[in-house]
Structure 1
Amino acid sequence: MSQELIQAVMVLTKTKGFAPEVIFESLEAALLQAYRKEPSSNPDAYVELNRETGEYKVMAKKEVVEAVETPETQISLEDARQQSPRFEIGDVVEMNVTPANFGRSAAHTAKQMLIQRLKEAERSVVFEEYFSREGDIITGIIERVEGKNVYINLGKTEAILPPTEQIATETYREGDRIKCYIVEVKKTTKGPQIMISRTHPGLLKRLFELEVPEIFEGVVELKSVAREPGMRSKIAVYSRDENIDPVGACVGQKGQRVQHIVDELHDEKIDIVKWDEDPAIYIANSLSPAKVVSVDVNEEEKASRVVVPDYQLSLAIGKAGQNARLAAKLTNWKIDIKSETQAQEEPFEPYASGAGEA
C-alpha cells in the first residue's frame, strides 16, 4: 500500500488540515494494533513507516539466548549471528518480525483504526482551537432549533446556545448569522461541546473591542459592564490620555460605533459613562442620563446616598428601578436615591466619612 498510502496522507493533509507527521504517527499506531492481533506477536514491537515510500515493517527487540523458550522475545545465538557475527549471549537484537501474510489484513484493520484515530485527532484540534477562545466572540449561522436549544454552525463544528443564555426578546431563525460569546468548551465522547451566550456581559465588552479601535489598542479602557440583556446596558470607560474622550470614542461620529452594537443586540439600549477613581463622581456618572446634585459615600460599606433634582428622580431610578439597578451593578456600590425635596423632608443620616459633590 506504499504509494497509495502516501497519496492518502497528502489528501488528508489538504482536506483535514492535519500535519503529515500526525497522520504517519496515527498510521504506525494503527498498524501496530493490527500486528498485536496476530498470534504470537511480540509485546514490545513497534512499526517503522517510511515517510517517502510508504513502506513499513514491524520491528521488535529479541534477547540472544542459548536455548529459545519464548520465540516472541528470544532468538538463538546461531540465528542472531546470521545477522552479525558480533552478537553474544545476552545481547539484544532488533529485527524485522513482520508476519508473512500481514499486508492485506493489516491494511484493512489499519484503515479502520486510522479513521477512528483521525476522528479523535480532528476533535482534539477543534477542541484546542475553541478552548483557547473561551471568553472570545464568534460568528456563526443558526443551523437549527431543537426544543429550547439553538444550534449554531461554526464551520468546523457546532455550538449550543441554551435557553439560559438566550435573550428573551430575540427570535432565532435558521440561516441567520449571529455573534455569540464563548462561555465554556468541554471535551465529550462525541467531540467538543461549545456553550455560547447572547446574554453574557463579555459579549458587550468584545463587541466594543471590535467596533472601537481605541479599546482594542488599549488607549481607552473598558472598566466595567452591566447588562439586562435585550433591555439595557451600561459600560464605564476611561482614558489616561486627557486628549482622548473615552465616551466620545465609544459613541463614534454621529453615534455610528455604538449604533452598530445596538443593531447587533437588536436595539438593546446602551449607556456609556466615564469611569472615575473618585467613587462619588463615578456613581454620579453611572446614573446617566439623570443629573445628580450630590453623592455621599461610605467606602467601608461601599454604600452611597444620592440626591437628584425632583424632576430627575424617576429618570435616576428608571423604569422598575432599572437605571439605579444597573448603576449599582456597574459600580459595585449600593446606591440609595432621593429627590431634593425628599432629602429636605427626611434627610439622610450622614456617614462617618467620605462625602462628595457630584
Structure 2
Amino acid sequence: MQLYNKLSAKERAILIDEAGTDRLTLSFYKYAHIGNTEIFRNYLFIGWNELDVLGRIYVAKEGINGQLSVPAPNFEAFKTHLDSISFLKDVRLNIAREQDSKSFLKLKVKIRHKIVADGLNDDTFDVTNKGTHVNASQFNELIEDPNTVLVDMRNHYESEIGHFEGAITPDVDTFRDSLDIIEQDLKDHKEDKNLVMYCTGGIRCEKASAYYKHKGFKNVFQLEGGIIEYARQIEEQKLENKFLGKNFVFDHRRSERISDDVIANCHQCGKPCDHHVNCANEACHLLFIQCDECASKMENCCSTECMEVNRLPYEEQKMLRRGKKNSNKIFKKGRSEALKYKK
C-alpha cells in the first residue's frame, strides 16, 4: 500500500512533460468534524494517488484545506471521489484562472492541528456563527457604501502585489497576527460600520468572521470563494473589476493576474514589478520581488552574499548548510535587510 511519494519533484516534472496532458489547478476547503484524521488522510492519499492527483492538503479534526493539480481527463473521477465523502459532496471547487501543469509536483496529505494556523481557541466562541457570504456583485455594492470598512485578511507579501481598491492591508507576516490588530484598529466601529473581509479562497474569512462576531462586530460580511471566485464571476458576468494587480497563490505559479495594474516594486531596484521569486541560494530561499534585470544581475539571488554562496560547487554549499537550521528570512517573506526597496 503506497502512502508516500516514490518520485522526486524533478522526476515527476519529466513525467508530466512526457504525458502531454493538461492539468487543472484547483483548491477547496471545508470545516467539518473528522473523527480519525489518520484514516481519512490515508484514504485520500490512496484514492488520489491512483488518479495522479498532486498537491498540498491539510487534514485536521476541524476539516480539510486542499490545493491540488488534477489531470483534466481525471477530473470527473476526482469529483466523484469527493462526492462520495458525505461532507465534501458538492463542495465548491475554486478553479485557477491561469493553469500550469506543474503547479504541484508531489502529493502531500498532511495531518495538522488546524487547517489554517489562526492561533485561536475555538472552544471560546461559536465557529459556526459566521458572517454573511456575498458574491462578486454584492461585494462590489458593499464596498461602494461609505459605511463599509474593507479588510484584506491576507499577509503583507500577498496584498503587496494585489488587493481591492480602498482595502485595509495589515502589515503582518501571518494570519494570526492580523486578527487582534484589525479588532483594535476598528474597535470604535463595531456597530456603525459594515466589516467586509476577503482572502485568497475564502478559508481565512470563515474563521475570522465568526471570531469578529464573537468580539461584538454587528455587520460582518465575507467574499464567498475569495479572490479566486470573484475573478471568475466578474469575467463571466461582465462586472466591474475592483481588484488591482495579482492574486498571490500557494503553488509553483505564485500568482494569478487579475488586472493589468502593477502595484508593487522590485525589492532590489525599485522598478514597477510584481513577480515573486525565491532566492537561488538554498540556504536562504527568501521569497521576494525581483525584476528580470535584477535577476540577471544578481543571478537570481537576493543579495551579493547569497550570490557568492550560490557560485560555490553544490557539494560545498551542502557542507555549509550541514547542521544549520533555515534562516528566519525564509519565513519573513521579503523582510530581509538586504532588500533596499522592500515594503
Pick the TM interval, shorter chain: under 0.3
Greater share of residues in strand: 1
Greater share of residues in helix: 1
Larger Rg: 1
TM-score (norm 2): 0.22
TM-score (norm 1): 0.21
